[in-house]
């Protein structure tokens, strides 16, 4: 028994020595806690919590409310050129001279800025691409300078170069429109620059529909006059079905829509003695659509397919939506798009300037009044 007790004592001493030598921890059973399945509470937040994770990128548009339109937050517009995909466009800003590339799903991009004098109702008044733009990258613009109104041609990455100069400039009625009626024929609609007498003066380029063949910067052929007596120039549009073209303008006695057949026969289609502020136009499905700036409308003038005669009073297809609109253009998918001039028409603080579809549901024209009210 004594031997056994001695052995146990030796083992206890050896274990104690090993614990001390190895640095092993000693547990105090009096301080141990029974096992529990209750979770421990997290410590309270510090006085300076970490910042939250960054929010995901905001969808376009980031700054302006542009629901249902191609682009918002524009300055007062003028020319509009629809892209081949019907989801993009080039839009001109009259007062800034900027031409912007816009789309339904992208931020706007300034393509170029043309130096202009935007006093009165002048500035960058219209733009059009060359019919062979894919090859030559040429754009034409109708602009105001300090001394005159003129047509300039701009090659991508180059400075504007004059095509036709010396068009009278005035305090009012400087607006105009450009349109190619053939691969080589450029037409320009000019206002009377506030002087109705110039519209009938054969020696003046004011108040006319002017044709320019083979527009060039060197040895340009003299322009010819297709129509006289224009007051405040509105818009130009063409009926691709029969070759007729339409001209809108404002005279001292009222606004009017004129038609020029492919045989150069001129007739007045409709007049508005109440002067609603006729502007841009577009032809589709036997109707001429016309913007009315003052009344915030787009109307459809329906034509008989065989005679071209008007079949009834103009039908309102847009009222108030997006405000005052000037330009009106067809897109390849059959819809019609407008561009607004609210910032220069008294509603700068109420309605933004945008490029918008005339028929938001798509599918193009015609539409009934019930579908557009």
* Element at 10 (helix H, strand E): helix 2-22
CA dist list (Å): 339 to 105, 150, 259, 267: 18, 23, 23, 28
- In this structure, of 65-79, 205-219, 240-254, the range with the lowest mean pLDDT score is 65-79
8 Å CB contact between 188 and 166: no
What pTM was computed for the model? 0.81
159: pLDDT strictly greater than 80: yes
Could you give the CA distance from residue 230 to residue 247 in angstroms, rounded to a whole number? 9
Beta pairing class for 124-129 and 106-113:
unpaired
Taking the C-alpha atoms of residue 373 and residue 365, their distance in angstroms, rounded to an integer, is 15
pLDDT 10s digits, 289-338: 999 999 999 999 999 887 778 999 999 999 999 999 999 999 999 999 99
pLDDT of the residue at 131: 96
| Cβ atoms of 285 and 295 closer than 8 Å | no
3-state secondary structure 130-187: CCCHHHHCEEEEEEECCCCEEEEEEECCCCCEEEEEEECCCCCCCCEEEEEEECCEEE
The band of 30, judged by pLDDT with boundaries at 50, 70 and 90, is very low
User: What sign has the CA pseudo-torsion 324, 328, 330, 334?
Assistant: positive
Q: Is the peptide bond before 61 cis (omega within 30 degrees of 0)?
A: yes
Query: Does position 180 have pLDDT exceeding 60, yes or no?
Result: yes
What are the structure tokens assigned to 336, written together? 């019609």
The third-level CATH classification (topology) of the domain covering 71-372 is Neuraminidase (2.120.10)
Does 63 have pLDDT greater than 70? no
What is the pLDDT of the chain when averaged over all its residues? Answer: 83
- Give the residue-averaged pLDDT of 164-187: 97
Above 70 in pLDDT, residue 24?
Answer: no
Q: Beta partners for 98?
A: 113
Beta bridge partners of 224: 211
Maximum alpha-carbon separation in the chain:
144
State pLDDT tens for residues 88-136. 999 999 999 999 999 887 778 899 999 999 999 999 999 999 999 999 9
In 10 A of CB 316, how many CB atoms? 15
CA distance 327 to 125: 10
Rounded CA gap, 200 and 345, in Å? 29
């Amino acid at each position: 028994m004594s031997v056994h007790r001695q052995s146990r004592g030796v083992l206890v001493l050896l274990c104690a020595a090993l614990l001390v030598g190895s640095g092993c921890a000693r547990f105090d059973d009096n301080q141990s806690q029974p096992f529990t399945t209750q979770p421990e509470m997290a410590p309270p937040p510090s006085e300076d919590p970490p910042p939250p994770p960054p929010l995901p990128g905001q969808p376009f548009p980031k700054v302006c409310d542009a629901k249902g339109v191609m682009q918002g937050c524009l300055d007062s517009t003028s020319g509009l050129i629809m892209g081949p995909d019907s989801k993009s466009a080039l839009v001109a800003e009259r007062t800034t001279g900027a031409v912007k590339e816009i789309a339904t799903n992208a931020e706007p991009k300034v393509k170029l800025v043309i130096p202009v004098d935007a006093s009165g109702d002048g500035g960058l008044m219209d733009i059009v691409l060359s019919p062979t733009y894919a090859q030559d990258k040429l754009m034409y613009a109708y602009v105001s300078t300090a001394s005159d109104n003129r047509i300039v041609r701009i090659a991508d990455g180059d400075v504007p170069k004059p095509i036709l100069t010396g068009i009278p400039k005035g305090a009012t009625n400087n607006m105009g429109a450009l349109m190619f009626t053939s691969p080589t024929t450029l037409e320009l609609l000019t206002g009377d620059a506030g002087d109705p007498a110039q519209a009938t003066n054969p020696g003046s380029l004011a108040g006319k529909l002017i044709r320019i063949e083979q527009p060039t910067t060197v040895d340009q052929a003299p322009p010819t006059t297709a129509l006289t007596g224009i007051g405040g120039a509105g818009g130009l549009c063409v009926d691709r079905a029969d070759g007729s073209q339409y001209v809108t303008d404002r005279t001292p006695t009222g606004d009017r829509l004129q038609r020029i057949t492919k045989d150069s026969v001129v007739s007045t289609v409709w007049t508005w003695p109440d002067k609603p502020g006729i502007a841009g136009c577009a032809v589709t499905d036997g109707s001429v659509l016309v913007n009315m700036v003052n009344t915030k409308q787009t109307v459809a003038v329906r034509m008989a397919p065989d005679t071209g005669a008007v079949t009834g009073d103009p039908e309102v297809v847009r009222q108030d939506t997006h405000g005052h609109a000037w330009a009106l253009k067809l897109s390849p998918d059959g819809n019609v798009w407008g561009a607004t001039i609210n910032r220069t028409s008294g509603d700068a603080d109420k309605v933004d300037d945008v490029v918008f579809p005339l028929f938001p549901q798509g599918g193009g024209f015609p539409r009934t009044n019930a579908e557009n009210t």
